[in-house]
Each structure stands twice: as structure tokens, then as C-alpha cells.
Amino acid sequence: MGFEGRGEDPLSAREHFTLGSIYEKRGESELALREYKMALKKDHHFPQAIIRLAELSYSMGQYRQSERYYRRAIELSPLSGDLYNNLSWVYLSQKKKLKKAESLISRAMELNPERKGYYLDTLGAIYIEQHRYGEAIEVLERAVSFFDETQLDPLSQVYRHLGTAYDLIGERSKAEEAFKKARDALDR
């Protein structure tokens, strides 16, 4: 159904991006990837397409691709802390380059201190993977303070990570309490 071999592609980069978004919402990830790539082919500096490629590749477990796209997105938008945070999750998901992930989180906090709670959660997850449980608990407890009671998804995630850290050091009652808070946040 593509236009390859039939001459010039009549769709603009924005139209390919929109089509990719539609496919993605319908759960058709491969078609969405194709359209985002077509958008990027039309406009090599289309940041939204690069970011969607990075995010979708990550969600599909294509970490090398995701890393490549996040690096490219950072080159185009070097002041976006969220891009550094997301690249950290790529490394964390692969259980590699954890020191690099840690430095990326430091950079994210410098760039966007207003999102520090999210970044501290990522740092806590990195510390858990590095078996630095005490430090993980410390930063995760700090992360909680950055969210109010209406921010249920991030609160739930922080409490899940906190519960995991407590569980790993054998603090069962504190782990259960954190896991309960995670569930309660989702039930609201």
C-alpha cells in the first residue's frame, strides 16, 4: 500500500505523523512505526516523529532503536529533561549503562527541576537495579513529596518502587504499606 516505486509520496511529513498517531491509537504499532519513519524521511528534523519513534520502539522492546531515536531527539532538543529521563529508562530496561542512566537523570533534574519527582523515581529505580537499596529508599521517599494527591499514576509508581526497595532489604511491613499506597492511588 506504500508509495514506493510509484513516484513521489503525496503526503507531507505532518500527514504521515498524523497517520502514524492514528495507527498507534488503534494498536497497530508496526504501521505506526512505518508512518513515523516516513514522516522523518520527509523532514529529517521532525522532533515529534523522532520522539514517537523512540517511545514506540521502547514500548515494543526495541531498545537499541529507542536509544538511537532518543539520542537524536536530545540532539534536537537538548534542554528537555524528559528526553534524558526516557533514555535512562531505555538503559534501565536493559540493565546496562546504569552509571550513564544515573548521569542522564542528574542532567534532567538540572534542566527541569519542576519535574524532579519523576526523575527521583527513575533514580530510585536505577539504585534498586544497582542494589543500592538504602539510597533508593531515600530518593523514593523524597520523590513522594513532589506529588500531590491528584497525581495518582506517578504516586502509584513511586510507591511500587518504594515497596520493592523495602521488600529487597527485608522490611516486609514497610513494603506492604508502600504497595498498599500504590494500590490505593490507582483505586481513587
Q: Is residue 70's pLDDT more than 60? A: yes
Same domain, 105 and 187: yes
The answer to the question of residue 90 being in a domain is no
Give the number of domains in the chain: 2
Average pLDDT in the chain: 94
Q: Is residue 4's pLDDT more than 60? A: no
Burial 112-132 (b: 16+ CB within 10 A, else e): beebbbbbbbbbbbbbbbbeb
Model pLDDT for residues 132-169, shown as the tens digit of each residue: 999 999 999 999 999 988 999 999 999 999 999 999 99
The answer to the question of residue 33 being in a domain is yes
Same domain, 11 and 51: yes
**What residue numbers bound the domain in which 25 lies?**
1-78
Q: What is the mean pLDDT of residues 64-72?
A: 97
Same domain, 61 and 105: no
The answer to the question of residue 109 being in a domain is yes
Model pLDDT for residues 91-141, shown as the tens digit of each residue: 999 999 999 999 999 999 999 999 999 999 999 999 999 999 999 999 999
